[in-house]
Chain A
Amino acid sequence: MDDIDPVGLAVPFFILAIVLELLLGRLGWARARYEPKDTFTSLAMGLGSSVAGLATAGVIFAASLWVYQHRLFDIPMTAIWAWVLIFLLEDKTYYWFHRLSHERRFWWASHVNHHTSQHYNLSTALRQTWTGGVAGTWLLWLPLSLIGFPPAMVAIQKGISLVYQFWIHTEAIGRMPRWFEAVFNTPSHHRVHHARNPRYLDRNYAGILIIWDRMFGTFQSELEAEPCRYGVVKNLATFNPIRVAFHEWAAIGRDLLRARSLREAALYVFGPPGWSPDGSRETSHQIRARWAAGQGAEGLSPAAAEAIAPTPDAHSGSPA
């Protein structure tokens, strides 16, 4: 069981599913938009990500093993309850990893490339980071090994989560049955997550279960009246995978060169994406607030405007 790699096993399925989506789109039987250069960038990012992952895989595995040696409990990999428990704990970890990756620029720099496509199709799912290992978000999963889950079990559950999230990157599926939409992350929920409309910014961070967003106040349903516009706040004007992978890191470096104090430097790196000392840029929080104010001016009641406005403790966002 230690050798199971859900993502590796699923690669043929990924390819076949993309072919199927393309054909259904070509035949007009399903909504699917593909632009060849965009598709190339997404797939090249996916391939590059698996290669880049090899560079840090050893360190991550060694760290997981070291932590596991200091575990608090012995959790058997063969027990069903252990799998149920890790499913929930891993998914909650993913939620916070994902939220952190949107709300703090250092981690956004690694994650942003996944959001750079102006399309939303199954190839977008493969537009993965090249710098995740360096960004260190894998540290968030170490507590699972400290509790006592074997590192292989954690890795398998992470893989299952990634495989699950593949199929939700599509416009071909409208909505799932109501009970499913209530509990699970779905294409509809995740379309919202990839949208750049102010209303949809920094919503729906879920991996498999959407319940975390509902619990932590970041849920937004897809509205018929407001179709998703995909991409980032400042869309990229390039399909070059190298630029896609590193552009936000380069932007951070540039900002650091003009930082006038340590505080400024720290906020450029760890502040919300879009933060600037003079307010010349906007964070997602500010974009949403401006938009919500505009909605209020257009006739929404104050209560309704408040309901769509961001909460002050979060959602400070991910404009690129």
Chain B
Amino acid sequence: MDKAFLIQFTGSMAAVAVLVGLAAWARIGRPSPGLDEARARDLLAEDFPDRQVDQLWIAREGRGALARSGACALVLIQVGDGYAARRLSWCQASSAMFRNGLLDIHLDEVAAPRAVLAFDNWPPKDLAA
């Protein structure tokens, strides 16, 4: 590797660090007060317009949500100040590991490896049969 490239690369990394630092300092992300039921339903409707939400559970502090829709589970994962949504089978969601108040759902995708949602208990007490 030649010296010019190394200098340029190192300088670029420094610039990245400075810009990310500035972005953190500026605090101009999207306002994200956490999900409430209405917002969660809106987000799910955007990603799954044809699916009806039968039951919905909001994770602690609104940092994600899980919904049951027939034989499917719809999950909202907080990603920075936004959300990603995924659909999986209800069996997969309901049988996910629940430990220390965290439901750890393996989504098995490179783009979305897992969804970790904080709940007081799981399965929830109000889960319909």
A residues apposed to B, CB below 8 Å: 11, 15, 18-19, 22-23, 25-26, 32-40, 43-44, 47, 50-51, 54, 118-119, 123, 229, 231, 234-239, 243-244, 246-248, 250-251, 290-291, 294, 320
Contact B110 A246 (CB under 8 A): yes
Contact A234 B111 (CB under 8 A): yes
Interface string of B18-47 (1 = CB under 8 A from A): 011011111111100000000000000011
In the complex, chain A residues whose CB is within 8 Å of the CB of B23: 22, 34-36, 39, 123
Chain A CB within 10 Å, residue with most, of B19, B46, B83, B112: B19
State whether A47 and B83 are in contact (beta carbons under 8 Å apart), knowing that A236-B111, A238-B112 are contacts in the complex: no
In the complex, chain B residues whose CB is within 8 Å of the CB of A25: 26, 28
Within the assembled complex, what's the spacing in Å between the Cα atoms of A113 and B19? Answer: 20
B124 within 8 A of partner (CB)? no
8 pairs of A and B residues whose beta carbons are closest in the complex? A237-B112, A118-B82, A247-B111, A237-B84, A235-B84, A247-B110, A36-B24, A34-B23
Contact B9 A51 (CB under 8 A): yes
B residues apposed to A, CB below 8 Å: 5, 9, 12-13, 15-16, 19-20, 22-30, 46-47, 49-50, 77, 79-86, 107, 109-113, 115
State whether A19 and B111 are in contact (beta carbons under 8 Å apart), knowing that A35-B29, A118-B82 are contacts in the complex: no
Minimum CB distance partner of A116 in chain B: B111
> A88 → chain B, closest Cβ, in Å?
33
Chain B CB within 10 Å, residue with most, of A11, A34, A47: A34
Q: Which residue of the partner chain, among A11, A43, A231, A250, contacts B20 with CB atoms under 8 Å?
A: A43
Within the assembled complex, what's the spacing in Å between the Cα atoms of A15 and B15? Answer: 8
Q: A23-B26, A33-B30, A237-B111 are in contact. List 5 more A-B contacts (CB 8 A).
A: A236-B111, A237-B113, A243-B110, A247-B111, A251-B111
In the complex, chain B residues whose CB is within 8 Å of the CB of A231: 82
Q: Which residue of the partner chain, among A18, A26, A35, A119, contacts B19 with CB atoms under 8 Å?
A: A18
Chain B CB within 10 Å, residue with most, of A15, A39, A237, A294: A237
Within the assembled complex, what's the spacing in Å between the Cα atoms of A237 and B80? Answer: 9
Contact B79 A235 (CB under 8 A): yes
15 contacts between A and B (CB under 8 A): A19-B19, A22-B23, A34-B23, A35-B30, A35-B80, A43-B16, A43-B19, A118-B81, A236-B79, A236-B84, A236-B111, A237-B111, A238-B112, A239-B80, A247-B111
